[in-house]
Structure 1
Amino acid sequence: MRKRKSTSRTAWIITFLIVLAIFFIPLEKFDRLIQDRPDHDTPNNHIASNTSIESDLHSQNAILINLKDHKILMEKHSEEIIFPASLTKIMTALVAIENLSDLHKQILLPERLFSDLYAANASMAGFLPNEKVAAIDLLYGTMLPSGAEASIGLANEIAGSEAAFVQLMNDKAKQLGMKDTHFINATGLHHRDHYSSVKDISVLLEYALKNQTFRAIFTAERHSTLPSNLHPDGITFKSSMFKNIDPANFLSGEIIGGKTGYTEQAGLCLASIAVINGDEYLLITAGANGNHQTEQFNITDAIEVYKQL
């Protein structure tokens, strides 16, 4: 009896081991095969899980989105309140475009418009007091060289005053669900009650890029204005972002559009889009140390992030 029980137990153990060999070992190998497939860890998954990218950024706030599927690939304090500086002008340009029936309408820039901007050391496009400028040129002047006089000129023409135009901006922000945003001016000049978040700005920019006029302006490297009463040969200005980008930094794509921003309180900011391997990506960064005289760490960050895709 004891011998039969021992034999039976041995047979049972052998059968169990055979079952293990047949089912569990191949499954383990199969699982490894799945994990080792080249497409298991796509570039999108890689950057989303790579926390070292976020920690290496000069910018205090960032968000990266794939515009194809609207997936957020990276976030760094994306809902934290920031001062948006001239990223404000994305909203200024969008609201102006949506409220202008004639993009070639001539708009007067009165002398009184300039005094406060000169006093605030605001960035200017190069238009002059009492110049008559086509609306489309004011839009390019707002976005490329970040001209405050262009922004205020558009605001006054559309709403009668900057304050009334800012109300349109805040209405648009509410419509888009920008819950952490409040505008005080159309230029981005610093004010403690003028704030946003990089996540809100990403919502704004993704929406704005669907407007073909806005997209054409946002992706322009340079623009030459039409002749005016004070500039008979027009003015040519270049994007404040593109003049600081070296195309040699990119291996598989390029940054195709952007808007810079800077105030002492906001730090260096950038809203940009890039095409990498055929897909469009949107990146918003804010709060990088530096100024106009230092390395442009906002652009440095963008290049490094896009290189990871």
Structure 2
Amino acid sequence: MKCTNKYKILILVVLSLLLLGGCKERTDVADAYDVYATSDSYALTQTDSQELPGLLATDLCVGGTENSTPADGINADYAQTAAVFSVDDQEITYAQNIYQKMYPASTTKILTAYIALKYGKLDDVLTVSDEAISSLMMGSSICGLKPGDQLTLDQALYGLMLCSGNDAANVIAEYISGSVDKFAELMNQEAQALGATQSHFVNPHGLPDDNHYTTAYDLYLIFNAAVQNDDFVKYISTKKYSTSYTDANGDAVDQVWFNTNGYLKGRYDAPENVTVVGGKTGTTDVAGNCLVLYSKSSSGKPYISIILKGNTKRELYTLMTELLTNYSN
């Protein structure tokens, strides 16, 4: 079929547009794929020496956005957010506002410990700086460190996770990244890598800040990654820790740190069919009473349970016990 002059003009216009703009590299799309690069460049192919990248949700609990209908005896109004995750079954057995933006308080220290164990060495000696102590708010939760004290990362992690030392958090942050601000950048990178995309952290301890927030589901992702490390489980399950380190003058400093977890302290009783391994508490005025818990059923199945913004400490543990009784069997 012959082309008329009309069609010839149309073809010339299309060819001109393609030559002028159609084959240029796009610069207006952030992180766009380079169409001239190979699939190998983006780890989309597999060779003998390379495995396919893993899927993010592999071995994770996933679910919808709906809240669970509480079972009889569940005082859901005792907290803003609550959740139970059956780790092995990869199932969310209870969900109450688990994707809602919340303040994490000292449950932030879960991520701090996770990063410290990932990048640090437990035998390394840390020196407490003036800034690590002076930058803390009056009345802040501390484990009693002073400028010039020298202790190992292992000791600092006990102070961080047992008695929720904000001073230990700052010391660890400076050890890992050189400063609290740089460490916060690393926290956000690691959180994103774990899929905790609805979180943002500005400090390693959880003191209040409008830009420091998370969700119950993001905390599950972070905590689930942390409990894969035996040392992390050791810290959260220790009831009492006695240690000695040196001060600025080289003199010995003796410390005894107790776990803030009400179950491990014996202040609250867990259900008979549940073994509480450990977890992390957190409390501020804006965050309320918080608890992230690792437990096992009578058959040995692991569960992660989370409550954020509990009304009072007693109501926090009452609700947690109800959740463990009904949703971790």
Question: How high is the TM-score relative to the length of structure 2?
Answer: 0.73
| Equivalence for 1:275 | 296
* Superposed displacement of residue 217, structure 1: 1.2
Contact 1:124/1:149 (<8 A) preserved: yes
Residues 170-229 of structure 1, C-alpha deviations (whole Å, 9 max, x = no match) = 000110111210001111000011000001001111111111221211222222224323
Distance verdict in 2 for CA 1:244–1:219, change over 3 Å: closer
Q: Which whole-Å CA distance do the structure 2 matches of 1:287 and 1:253 have between them?
A: 23
Residues 144-180 of structure 1, C-alpha deviations (whole Å, 9 max, x = no match) = 1110110100111111100001111000011011121
Contact 2:270/2:276 (<8 A) preserved: no
**Structure number with bigger Rg:** 1
Q: 1:35-74 to 2 correspondence within 5 Å? A: 50-52=70-72, 55-74=75-94
| Equivalence for 1:259 | 280
SS for the counterpart of 2:254 is: coil
Q: 1:44-193 to 2 correspondence within 5 Å? A: 50-52=70-72, 55-100=75-120, 102-117=121-136, 119-193=137-211
| Equivalence for 1:287 | 309
Q: Which whole-Å CA distance do the structure 2 matches of 1:180 and 1:60 have between them?
A: 17
Q: Aligned letter for 2:173?
A: A
Residues 129-156 of structure 1, C-alpha deviations (whole Å, 9 max, x = no match) = 2211111011111111110110100111
Residue 218 (structure 2) pairs with residue 197 (structure 1): no
Contact 2:109/2:206 (<8 A) preserved: yes
**Identity score, percent:** 26
- After alignment, is 299-308 or 174-183 more displaced? 299-308
Contact 2:81/2:96 (<8 A) preserved: yes
- After alignment, is 50-59 or 87-96 more displaced? 50-59
SS for the counterpart of 2:245 is: coil
Task: Choose which of 241, 260, 266 in structure 2 pairs with 1:223.
Answer: 241
Contact 2:288/2:309 (<8 A) preserved: yes
Which structure dedicates a bigger proportion of its chain to helix? 1
Number of positions where the alignment pairs a residue of Structure 1 with one of Structure 2: 256
Which sections of structure 2, spanning at least 5 residues, go unmatched? Answer: 1-67
Q: Which whole-Å CA distance do the structure 2 matches of 1:178 and 1:96 have between them?
A: 18
Let me know the Cα RMSD of the aligned residues: 1.9
Q: Aligned letter for 2:311?
A: N
Q: Aligned letter for 1:109?
A: V
Contact 2:159/2:165 (<8 A) preserved: yes
Distance verdict in 2 for CA 1:155–1:233, change over 3 Å: closer
Distance verdict in 2 for CA 1:165–1:252, change over 3 Å: same
Distance verdict in 2 for CA 1:129–1:233, change over 3 Å: closer
Question: How high is the TM-score relative to the length of structure 1?
Answer: 0.77
Residues 259-303 of structure 1, C-alpha deviations (whole Å, 9 max, x = no match) = 00011000000000111212111101101113xxxx433222212
- After alignment, is 256-265 or 106-115 more displaced? 106-115
